[in-house]
Structure 1
Amino acid sequence: ATHAAFAVRADGAVLRVPLNGDAATEIVAASAGATTVAAHPAGAHVYYGTATGVTRVDAADGGNAAAIVSPLPSAVASLAVDAVRGRLTWSTAGGDVSSADLADGGREAALASGVGGAVGGVASVAAGDAADAAAAVLVGHSVPALHPYGTFFKPDVMVELSMATEGAAGRLAAGTVSAGDMFGSFGNGVAAIDDVDGDGVSDALVGLQADGEAVSSAGSVLVVMMRADGSVKGQQKITAGVGLTNGAALALAAEDRFGTNVAGMADWDGDGVPEAAVSAHLDDNLFDDAGAVWLLFLTATGEARATYRIATQLPLSASDAFGRGLTTVPDNDGDGKQEIAAGAYADDDGGNARGAVYIVFLQSVGGVGGTAEYRAHTKISATSGAGWVPVSPTDSQWFGYGITLMEATGSAAAVIAVTCHGDDDGGNEAGAVYVLALSSPSSGVAA
Structure 2
Amino acid sequence: MDGVGARDHGGDRVRGAVAGVEHGAAGVGGRAGHDGGVRLRDGAAVHHLRRLLPVAGPGARPAPQPHLRARRRAQLSSNSAWVCQFLQQTALFGYGIAYTITASISFRAILKANCYHAHGHDAPCSFDGSYYMLMFGGVQLLLSSIPDFHDMAWLSVVAAVMSFSYAFIGLGLGLASTISNGVIKGSITGVPMKTPVAKVWRVSQAIGDIAFAYPYSLILLEIQDTLKSPPAENKTMKKASIISILVTTFFYLCCGCFGYAAFGNDAPGNLLTGFGFYEPYWLIDFANACIILHLLGGYQVYSQPIYQFADRHFAERYPGSGFVNDFHTVKVPLLPAYRVNLLRVCFRTAYVASTTAVAIFFPYFNEILALLGALNFWPLAIYFPVEMYFIQRKVPRWSTRWLVLQGFSTVCLLVSAFALVGSIQGVITQKLG
User: TM (normalized to structure 1)?
Assistant: 0.20
- Structure of greater relative contact order (alpha carbons < 8 Å, 6+ residues apart): 2
Structure with greater helix share of residues: 2
- Based on CA coordinates, which of the two structures has the bigger radius of gyration? 1
